[in-house]
Amino acid sequence: MVSNASDPAGRIQTVFYLFRIRYEIEAGEAGMRLAAESPDNRLCTQTIAELRRELAAPTQDLGMVEVGDSAVRDFLARLLSAYDEGMRKST
């Protein structure tokens, strides 16, 4: 699903949708799972970089049906924090 998104915002929203809505995984666990992905997974590393840029300098509303922009950003910030922690542990 992430690879089918048409732009960075779509990829970021898809990550949120998959972890939070579809699979009901908490942000910390989601970040750790992404950190466990192979470093050769270019789509994962690209999406993480896009997520970092969007959280640092918002360009558009990431909200979805019944989930506002601030709730999406909060989840993704916690996911990114856990991802970074997982990456530090793996090195």
pLDDT over threshold 90, residue 3: yes
Give the C-alpha separation, 13 to 5, whole Å: 9
Domains in the chain: boundaries:
2-90
Give pTM, 2 decimals: 0.95
Alpha helices (runs of H) in the chain, residue ranges in sequence order: 8-16, 27-35, 42-56, 69-90
- What pLDDT sits at residue 91? 76
User: Residue holding tokens 């970021």?
Assistant: 12
- What pLDDT sits at residue 82? 98
Q: Tens of pLDDT along 15-67?
A: 999 999 999 999 999 999 999 999 899 999 999 999 999 999 999 999 998 99
